[in-house]
Structure 1
Amino acid sequence: MHKMILPTLLSLALLAPGIAAAQSATPSLPAWDQLTPQQREQLTAPVRERWNNSTPERRQHMLDHAARWEAMTPEERTRARQGHKRWSDMPPERREHARALYQHMRNLPEAERKAMVDRWKAMTPEQRRAWVEANPATNP
């Protein structure tokens, strides 16, 4: 009997994060005002630590990001989450390419941007690598 307790406890420990994630998606969780002080601390501590360890410029960026997020519609937030996931799942080389291409195109007029996208799509992987080497992102 005792031989089964340890594997069972280990299994439960491994499943706990998944269960917690599933529970967090349920509407039965309390509103912020109903959370205990410990629960609130658990939620806010990582942000506080990141804030305290940040430069003034980074803090301003965090505030600006929060304001933009607050102004988004639910659909825009969903698209933003999907874009973040797509970026996180992207291989490092593709991220480097995306950064370089974005920096190059961000201030181009619409017609030139479209032409650059068309050229990019027509390039081979080797041509893209060469283009990125010739046009590196300045602030990865």
Structure 2
Amino acid sequence: MQKYDSYHNSVSKLVDLLEAVNQPDPNVLATGRVECPPDEDPLDKMKKALEAFQESLSPEKVGPVAKICGILENAAKCKRDYQIKKRACIRHLRRFDTLEYKTLVENRENFNQYVFFLGSLWSTRFYLMSLERKNK
């Protein structure tokens, strides 16, 4: 059981670290989601800044900046998609913590109660046997 508890602690730490790598912004993780909402990702913010900057450029320089804005938009969308896919990959590790480990702890508690009950029965039986011997 001790090794299983150690495994449980290791898995919990691993899940926390993997989620921190997948989404380094703790404010987003606090919402229960892993992906940034649209327009909140750093790539989206960069795109907005370039779009605002593009208004002050001459018409011949607007094309390349617009192309970069499109690339940033696609990159932000891909990043969100992959963050969701990565989180799905570690879902089984998180479920171990909530399902299997919880069942194991409940079964262990039931077992310990049963062992205590059996120990009490044996103690009572030996006590009664010792009383019988004294009475003979």
TM category (shorter chain) comes to under 0.3
Greater gyration radius: 2
Which protein has greater RCO, CA pairs closer than 8 Å, 6+ apart? 2
Of Structure 1 and Structure 2, which has the larger fraction of its residues in helix? Answer: 2
Q: TM-score, normalised by structure 1?
A: 0.20
Q: TM-score, normalised by structure 2?
A: 0.21
